[in-house]
Amino acid sequence: MSLTDNFPNHLGGIYAIEFHPKQSNILAFSGSQGMINFWDISTQQSLKLLKAQVGNIYALKYSPDGIILASGGDTIRLWNPLTRKPITRLNGHISDITTLKFNTNGEILASASGDGTIKLWNIPNKQLLASLKGHYEQINDVEFINKEQSVIASASNDGSIILWNWNGNLDELINRSCQWLGNYLEHNQDLSNDTKMLCPHY
């Protein structure tokens, strides 16, 4: 059985597939031309053809509760899978996204890229928490490991696997980020009050 035999609107290669974590009959897949396709495999019917990004989409990942779908191409976009409407865009990588992974509670999204970095995103606040640099070529996969989710493994074209020991406590990670940004937040008069409230102690 080939899904694309019945789905002529999808053109070019398919780079990522992802089943909904709560509805196992719903398949999302993406590829060239910035398209995300939602398919009901039980009825063999297309649910939605979504023009999501300009270029290729190389990565898809649902949050554990299925409320958010993350897509990665030239940037990261978060979608509401029910309405298929955009939530926000996460900018920071300078090359195409290669993989996306949520931690077990869905509060942190790890993204990896051809730029050789891993970025950790606070999903409730839609903010960048940390950027992990160590590889010197494209990163192909990342995984949260151990019960506390405090270690991340990454694999790269440079032939190495790196284990990153970061503190999996979201509150402490936010606090460390605010300490680093404190001087900027305190002295930059052009920032909005909403931006300053990200770190209310500064």
Residue 167 banded pLDDT, cuts 50, 70, 90: low
Look at residue 115 and tell me whether its pLDDT is greater than 70: yes
What's the pLDDT score for residue 8? 47
What pLDDT is recorded for position 97?
93
| Higher-pLDDT residue of 178, 148 | 148
Residue with tokens 């970025």: 119
Please report, rounded to a whole number, the percentage of residues in the chain having pLDDT higher than 90. Answer: 45
The set of residues, in sequence order, having a beta carbon less than 8 Å from that of 125 and lying 6+ positions away, is 198
Q: In the predicted model, what is the mean pLDDT of residues 116-136?
A: 91
Higher pLDDT, 71 or 200: 71
Please name the residues in contact with 196: beta carbons below 8 A apart, sequence gap of 6 or more: 185, 202
Which pTM value belongs to this model? 0.77
Encode pLDDT of 24-73 as tens digits.
999 999 887 788 888 898 888 878 777 777 789 999 999 999 999 999 99
Taking 80 as the threshold, does the pLDDT of residue 187 lie above it?
Answer: no
Check whether 201 has a pLDDT greater than 80: no
Beta bridge partners of 117: 133
pLDDT for residue 79 is more than 60: yes
Q: Across the chain, what does the average pLDDT equal?
A: 81
Out of 9-18, 79-88, 92-101, 174-183, least confident range: 174-183
**Rounded (to 5) percent helix, strand, coil in the chain:** 15, 45, 45
Dihedral of CA atoms 77, 128, 147, 103 in degrees, nearest 10, equals -10
Torsion of CA 69, 38, 32, 62, to 10 degrees: 20
User: Which residue is it, tokens 């509401």?
Assistant: 80
